[in-house]
Structure 1
Amino acid sequence: MRLLIVEDEVRLAVSLARGLTAEGFAVDVTHDGREGLFLAMEGSYDLVMLDVNLPGMNGYRVCAALRQAENDVPILMLTAKDGEYDEAEGLDTGADDYLTKPFSYVVLVARIRALLRRRPRAASPLVRVGDLVVNRSKRRVARAGTVIELSGKEFAVLEQLAVRAGEIVSKAEILEHVWDSAYQGDANIVEVYVSALRRKLGSGAIETVRGAGYRMVLHAA
């Protein structure tokens, strides 16, 4: 899943991005409100973490602009303001949750996962493909009852293929959702992770559709 962090405290933003990347998310970061609004409008994000005090455009205005544009991306506001009126203003402008600095990283990750579970398209955290079960909230995978250990990136690639099982998913789509926008490496990195998944799931689990991408076709064993 892909997250956007709009936070003007550079060290905090970098630290959060590093931690969330280790959790298996693709994370983009900006430190300016106007750029954050542009990225949120133009990109395909599963969640936006939005600071209130931002240069260019404050977080309340960014949030309000997204909602006025009927963009329903979950928004988690991060702010040093801890007054009840500040929290009410954030929620009234369209934020889905509100976290006051300083905050626990463990609580932050739990809030993120809770918001992602609430999205209509992710009503169930379980994705079943044949005898494979992908638990998106716990980030666990099992086939025929046997747990399969995956790295964060392997899980993220599998998730993109599993939620669209039977469809062709291009390398570009996988890169967009699993790697952040700063990634400038070889797109063939996707092949490396698909090969790793085939070794763990079985060689027939993922088809290569030449010139188009990959398709998960896993059936019960």
Structure 2
Amino acid sequence: MYGGIERIAKNVEDGVNSVEGVEAKLWQACVFLSFLDVPETLPTEELVRLGAPSKSSVPIIHPNDLSEADGFIFGFPTRFGMMAAQFKAFLDATEYLCKTQQLAGKPAGIITSSTSQGGGQEIAVLTGITPLVHHGMIFVPFGIGFTYNRDFGNMEEVKGGTPYGAAIYATREELTLVESMHANDHGHYFAHVTKQLKEASV
């Protein structure tokens, strides 16, 4: 709604593209290491009332096209501590891919955003893992290492991000330096894991 997922996804995308032989492609609804920013379902009047900016020019992808990617980094905002309904609706449309297990064995990560520190960044990622399990995908968390690097342990700064994946506070215009570095590192790490899995399966 406020462009937070797109802002963090672009930092993750840079991290992915920093790994030789790996290409990230940003989509609304997904990427070639794929980031999801699902089409809006709220009425235009409600978006205006909420002060949402104009929509992104990032292209939209159909759920069935997900099978073309080697891995995914799904991005969705929190809503009452869970994945947003728009993202859930997108996943609901992947039933054919699930039945045929076309995404099984592919790595997937999750990035998220919230509008407050208590916005449920970690639990939102946990709720997002359930559909990945049904697809047979491999969840790749970023891990606790980021908290020991890049000043993330600095408690004087309010910032998003967890061991589950990169995250931001969506109401800010820009990512903090720490959020930006965490997102970039997450993309870089995920790209290495995806590349290793791809090469091992050849």
TM class by smaller structure: 0.3 to 0.5
Structure with more strand by fraction: 1
Normalised TM-score (structure 1): 0.39
- Greater RCO, 1 or 2 (C-alpha within 8 Å, sep 6+): 2
**Bigger Cα Rg:** 1
